[in-house]
Chain A
Amino acid sequence: MTFNPTRRQVLVGGASLATIVALGGVHPAFAGADRAKITVRVEKDLSNLDPANRSGPIDLNVIWSVQQGLISFKPGSTEWELDAAEELEQVSDTEIRFKLRSGLAFTGGYGDLTAEDVKFSFERFIKPDAEGKPVTYAKDWSSLDRVEVTAPLEGRIILKNPAPALYTIALADGSGRIVSKKAFEALGKDIATKLIGSGPYVLKEWTPREQFVLEINPDYKGPIKAHFHQIVGKPIGEQKTAEIAFKSGEIDFTAIDPENGKSLAALPDASITEIPAIDYVWFGPNIEKAPFDDIRVRQAIRYAVDIDAILQGAYSGLYPRADALLAPSLLGHWKDAPVHARDLEKAQALLAEAGHADGFKTKLTIEANARYEAIAQIIQANLAEVGIEVEIEALESAAYWALGENDASKDLELSLIKFNGKFDPGFQTQWFTSAQVGQWNWQRWKNADFDALHEKGGVTVDPAEREKIYIEAQKLLDESAAFIWITHNLNAFASRKWLKPGVLPNGNNWLYTAFTQATA
């Protein structure tokens, strides 16, 4: 039997084949599962891949997958596990001994990973760079005195003072990544764009503003296994655009607005993950400026603002309320923190007592985005009820964050702020110290007792004692009435059903090595 297709049959067949291929390309429901590769959306492009000068979590997440540390975070946890180190021992409050695994090697022919590389990587943070400036993350290693190399694969980290936060702030984090001394010396400034490491992935490609590609490092001999052959990161700034890209199957994983979780969960191949965050969103006055230098005015504002209405209106009622600086999952969380309920009578009485019975005019500065505009409008409406007329000043991101430079915050009146959290409470308290006035302490609140507690918390080793210290510090923040906490945020992610994302509890940091195939 012979098969002699007619011209029409060929055309119909060809068109059908093309349709099937096209559908497979545009919708995941039709696509053959390419489980060796995942595509994730990142909010912005990579910027600086030097761990000491990285620009934020987008860079760090890539650095983590390419460079090893002595230790690394466990997936989904604030606890750590051994990575490049075979042994790690806290010998005393100021000494940590380490022994590296043998056979670990840097990519690009830069040789084995040795204790000399560890010494070089960590001591960079306490020495000025080639231009005589400290590296961006110098503070992470401020307690470091020196690293002593005792054998090719062994050494001792000597600290100037006890530093219990060192494990989460530096060693397991970006500042604890081990760079190749040889590569650093050979590449010079290019170290910011060429990522050399000894970790599970290599940065195979980075096309600015388009994508980066991580591929499994065939020579990797460490303990942390990667699960996907290739991870592609696509920078998509707009959340809505990212959600459309997810719906169309262009990406397999993205952070989303929790409000849109329900509609995305309705997709046949989507899974939504929600993780309470450790960020802190608050607003407060610049207490150096009248009338906010009067605590009664600050207390009046706190009584006048309806935080629950903000959570309902600006956060769809999905986000948890914050009553203190430290989130519930952190050491030092103040679970008995007072919940300041709205009380307009008290607010008016306090304003009258402070000589502002008729209210006053002020300005609320926010970063321009829909959520903060919604918060600002609720605050505006709430304060209008006690006679305080609020003008909203919405600044573009760059202009807004520039307020942290050159003492620009001195002109602020009210400001709405969101800071990202880290796993050690000392990271959070540092921004409210007197030394930060003119930088990130936009309320310009100075309190010597708070400063002392922050310092003490940084060198106290006993966790129970540290907890007490940080709760005391938060009480001082509360007494000042300069900080009106709103939420610790909520992270939400959409991923394919077959994908289990490797997100750390802060939501901002992802371990690409911990992205795995979900089990049924």
Chain B
Amino acid sequence: MQAFIALSRRPGGTFAMLAVTLLCLVAIAAPLIAPYAPNAIAPANRLMEPSWQHLLGTDHLGRDILSRLIYGARVALGISLSVIAISLSTGVALGIAAALSPRAIDLAVVGVFDIVTSFPSIILALALVAVFGPGLGNVVLLVSIVFIPHFGRVARAQTIAIRNSPFIEAEKVLGAETWRVVLHHVTPNIIGPIFVLACMDIPVVITIEAGLSFLGLGVRPPLASWGNLLNDGYTYLDQSVWLATFSGLALVLATLGFALLGEALRDTLDPKLRKAL
């Protein structure tokens, strides 16, 4: 509770919490709140302006923009949380393993992390999806690969910082096995900064997914993704501005919300910054 109060006092904290909560609620309740089926086409109603019938208008195939944005939130959140979950768990496991392994293995893992991170995230994701093909599953898997080093490097650095701490040494002296030390002592002590990093990576993943879908390399039609919607909006911009405007706004709201939440969390969880504020 204290954390929430502290968060709300941070600049942008309230907005961030509201935006993220709204997004999560919309994504969860999509089938209940979407006024139309997101993929129901009605070419006779194409490119309609916002009205009481279609609150945000329709796209070029007569689909309801609001319904597609609502379902798009599911895709954006679903993909970003899946990517973060996969890359966080794999990255943390690799990072801890590298930190606790002999130097040669540590260097090898760090080398792989360096190679992956030497490419800009979006370029690497583009290249991987171009090679392995588009689609929901591939996007999740391949973007996860891009993000593994983010978490792996932090986990490794944090583990190195505490691996010789007295409480770890004490556990070892008491005969605890490595897995027990990692699970009960290392992980709980390094997860804070990683959680903040995860929060700050969510908007990046949302942007990458949207970018891939915009380029036709992400989620395949007819599944509604904000990137697909933005692409359709751009294509038909001369005839209707609504789709591009609303899908752009949804992206801005989501990325800004998660980015501000990440920053607020970082400030709240970091004792030095907390003291300063």
- Partner of B60 from A313, A376, A391, A392 at Cβ < 8 Å: A313
Contact (Cβ within 8 A) A380 B222: yes
User: Are B238 and A381 touching (Cβ within 8 A)?
Assistant: no
Mark interface residues in A347-383 (1 if CB within 8 Å of B CB, else 0): 0000000000000000000001010011011101100
Does A259 have its Cβ within 8 Å of any Cβ on chain B?
yes
Say whether A378 contacts B238, CB under 8 Å: no
**A374→B235 CA distance, assembly (Å):** 11
Q: Provide the bound-state CA to CA distance between A392 and B44, in Å.
A: 23
**CB–CB B41/A377 < 8 A:** yes
**Total inter-chain residue pairs, C-beta < 8 Å:** 49
| Residues of A contacting B39 in the complex (Cβ-Cβ under 8 angstroms) | 381
Chain A: minimal CB distance from B193 (Å) = 41
| Residues of chain A with a CB closer than 8 A to B40's CB | 381
Closest beta carbon of chain B to A114's beta carbon, Å:
53
Chain B residues contacting A330 (CB-CB under 8 Å) are none
Q: Which of B232-250 contact A (CB under 8 A)?
A: 232, 235, 238-239
Interface string of A485-507 (1 = CB under 8 A from B): 00000000000000000000000
In angstroms, how far is the closest chain B Cβ from the Cβ of A283? 16
A376 touches B221 (CB 8 A): yes
| B216 surroundings in chain A (CB, below 8 A) | 368, 373, 394
- The answer to whether B222 touches A377 (Cβ under 8 A) is yes
Give the complex CA separation of A164 and B44 in angstroms. 45
The answer to whether A313 touches B46, judged by C-beta atoms less than 8 angstroms apart, is yes
Q: Which residues of chain A have C-beta atoms less than 8 A from B231's C-beta? A: 370
Bound complex: CA A394 to CA B217 (Å)? 9
Residues of A within 8 A of B46 (CB): 312-313, 316
B residues in contact with A316, CB < 8 Å: 46, 239
> What is the CA–CA distance of A432 and B43 in the complex, to the nearest angstrom?
31
Alpha-carbon distance between A309 and B61 when the two chains are bound, in angstroms: 9
Q: B61 near A378 (CB under 8 angstroms)?
A: yes
Chain A contact residues, majority secondary structure: helix
Contact A312 B44 (CB under 8 A): yes
Are A313 and B41 in contact, CB atoms less than 8 angstroms apart? Answer: yes
Separation in Å of the A119 CB from the closest CB of chain B? 50
Interface string of B206-246 (1 = CB under 8 A from A): 00000000001000111000000001100100110000000
Write the chain A residue with the least CB distance to B228.
A373
- A260 contacts B by Cβ under 8 Å: yes
Does the CB pair A259–B44 fall under 8 Å?
A: no
Contact B238–A259 (Cβ < 8 Å): yes
> Are the CB atoms of A260 and B60 closer together than 8 Å?
no
Contact for B221 among A243, A260, A310, A380, CB less than 8 A? A380
* A391 & B41 in contact (Cβ 8 Å cutoff): no
By CB atoms of chain A within 10 A, which of B44, B232, B238 has the most? B238
User: How long is the Cα–Cα vector from A374 to B231 in the complex, in angstroms?
Assistant: 12
Smallest Cβ-Cβ distance to B135: which chain A residue = A391
Inside 8 A of A313's CB, which chain B residues have their CB?
41, 43, 46, 60-62
On chain A, the residues within 8 Å of B41 by CB distance are: 309, 313, 377-378, 381
Q: For the complex, what is the distance from the CA of A495 to the CA of B52, rounded to whole Å?
A: 40
Q: Is A92 among interface residues, defined by CB-CB distance under 8 A?
A: no
Chain A neighbourhood of B220, CB < 8 A: 391-392
Q: Determine whether the beta carbon of B238 is less than 8 Å from that of A374.
A: no
**B211 → chain A closest CB, angstroms:** 16
Report the separation of the CA atoms of residues A376 and B228 in the bound assembly, to the nearest whole angstrom: 15
Is the pair B221, A378 in contact by a Cβ cutoff of 8 Å?
no
CB-CB nearest in chain B for A257: B238
Q: Beta-carbon contacts of B12-48 to A below 8 Å, as 1s and 0s? A: 0000000000000000000000000001110110100
Residue A263 at the B interface, CB < 8 A? yes
Residues of A within 8 A of B221 (CB): 373, 376-377, 380, 392
For A368, what are the chain B residues with a Cβ–Cβ distance below 8 Å?
A: 216
A356 to B40, CA, bound (A): 24
Query: In the bound complex, what is the Cα–Cα distance between A415 and B216 (angstroms)?
Result: 18
User: Which of B43, B60, B232, B238 interacts with A309 by CB under 8 Å?
Assistant: B43
A277 to B8, CA, bound (A): 62
The B-contacting residues of A in range 299-355, CB under 8 angstroms, are 309-310, 312-314, 316
Nearest-neighbor residue (CB-CB) of A313 within chain B: B43
Residues of B near A312 (CB, < 8 A) are 43-44, 46
Across-interface contacts of B61 in A (CB, < 8 A): 313, 374, 377-378
Please, which residues of chain A bring their CB within 8 A of the CB of B238? 240, 243, 259-260, 263
Leading 5 A-B pairs by shortest Cβ distance: A313-B43, A312-B43, A370-B235, A309-B43, A313-B61
Known: A370-B232, A373-B221, A380-B221. 14 other contacts (CB 8 A): A243-B238, A260-B238, A260-B239, A310-B43, A312-B44, A312-B46, A313-B60, A370-B235, A374-B60, A376-B221, A377-B221, A378-B43, A381-B40, A394-B216
Interface residues of A (CB under 8 A from B): 240, 243, 259-260, 263, 309-310, 312-314, 316, 368, 370, 373-374, 376-378, 380-381, 391-392, 394
A-B contact pairs, 19 of them (CB 8 A): A240-B238, A243-B238, A259-B238, A259-B239, A263-B239, A312-B43, A312-B44, A312-B46, A313-B46, A313-B60, A316-B239, A373-B221, A377-B61, A377-B221, A378-B41, A378-B43, A381-B41, A392-B220, A394-B216
